[in-house]
Amino acid sequence: MSTRPDGIPVLSVISIGDELASGALLDTNMNRIARQCMSRGCRLETSRVLRDDVDAITDSMKQLAAISDIVVTTGGLGPTDDDLTRDALARVIADGRTELNDEALQWIRQRYRKQGRVMPESNTRQAMQPVGATLHFNANGTAPAITASIGDCRIICLPGPPSEMVPLLEELVIPLMPSSEGVPQPIGITACGIGESAASELLGSLLQRGRDPIIGIRASESLVTATISTMGRTPEDHRRVQEDAERVEQAWSPWAFTREDQSLASVVVRMLREHGATLAVAESCTGGLLGGSIVDVPGSSNVFTGGWITYANQVKHDCLDVPMELIQSNGAVSRQVAAVMALSAARRAGASLSISTTGIAGPGGGSDSKPVGTVYIGLCDTRGPMPETTVGHHVFNGDRQAVRRRTIMTALQMIRWRLMGIDGTDLLGQVREGTAT
Listed in sequence order, the residues at least 6 apart from 384 whose beta carbon sits closer than 8 Å to its beta carbon are none
Percent of the chain with pLDDT strictly greater than 90: 86
Residue type, 114: K
pLDDT at 6 over 80: no
* CA 75 – CA 159 distance, rounded (Å): 5
Domain with CATH 3.30.70.2860 in the chain: 187-258
Q: Which of 267, 290, 298, 295 is nearest to 189 (CA)?
A: 267
* CA 176 – CA 183 distance, rounded (Å): 16
pLDDT band at 221; cut points 50, 70, 90: confident
pLDDT at 239 over 80: yes
Listed in sequence order, the residues at least 6 apart from 112 whose beta carbon sits closer than 8 Å to its beta carbon are 118, 119, 123, 142
Instruction: For the beta carbon of residue 340, count every other beta carbon within 10 angstroms.
Output: 23
| Residue range 272-283: mean pLDDT, rounded | 99
pLDDT at 295 over 50: yes
Q: In whole angstroms, how far apart are CA 56 and each of 27, 51, 63, 122?
A: 18, 8, 11, 24
pLDDT at 92 over 70: yes
3-class secondary structure, 159: coil
Following DSSP, what letter does each residue of 252-308 receive, concatenated? TTTTEEESSS--HHHHHHHHHHHHT--EEEEESTTTTHHHHHHHTSTTGGGTEEEEE
Q: Residue 344 has what pLDDT? A: 98
pLDDT at 53 over 80: yes
Whether the CB-CB separation of 317 and 327 falls below 8 Å is answered with yes
| Residue range 8-33: mean pLDDT, rounded | 95
Q: Residue 436 has what pLDDT? A: 29
| Residue range 275-281: mean pLDDT, rounded | 99
* CA 355 – CA 391 distance, rounded (Å): 9
pLDDT band at 425; cut points 50, 70, 90: low
End-to-end CA distance of the chain: 52
Beta bridge partners of 154: 70, 149
For the entire predicted model, the pTM comes to 0.77
Q: Do the strands 304-309 and 279-283 form a parallel or antiparallel pair, or are they unpaired? A: parallel
State the DSSP H helix or E strand holding residue 93, giving kind and residue range, or none if neither: helix 85-94
pLDDT at 254 over 80: yes
Residue-wise pLDDT tens digits, 308-355: 999 999 999 999 999 999 999 999 999 999 999 999 999 999 999 999
pLDDT at 132 over 80: yes
Whether the CB-CB separation of 281 and 338 falls below 8 Å is answered with no
CATH number of 10-176: 3.40.980.10
pLDDT band at 67; cut points 50, 70, 90: very high
Give the architecture (CATH level 2) of 264-436: Alpha-Beta Complex (3.90)
Q: How many helices (H) and strands (E) does the chain have?
A: 14, 19
Residue-wise pLDDT tens digits, 386-417: 999 999 999 999 999 999 999 999 999 999 99
* CA 299 – CA 279 distance, rounded (Å): 13
What sign does the dihedral 117-119-122-123 (CA atoms) show? positive
Domain with CATH 3.40.980.10 in the chain: 10-176
* CA 377 – CA 56 distance, rounded (Å): 52
- Tallying the residues shown for the chain, one arrives at 437
239-264 as b/e: b if 16+ CB within 10 A: ebbeebbebbbebbebbbbbbeeebb
Out of 3.40.1710.10, 3.30.70.2860, 3.60.150.10, 3.40.50.720, the CATH code matching 187-258 is 3.30.70.2860
* CA 301 – CA 353 distance, rounded (Å): 15
State the DSSP H helix or E strand holding residue 362, giving kind and residue range, or none if neither: none
pLDDT band at 435; cut points 50, 70, 90: very low
Q: Residue 4 has what pLDDT? A: 56
Q: Residue 231 has what pLDDT? A: 79
* CA 362 – CA 352 distance, rounded (Å): 32
* CA 82 – CA 16 distance, rounded (Å): 11
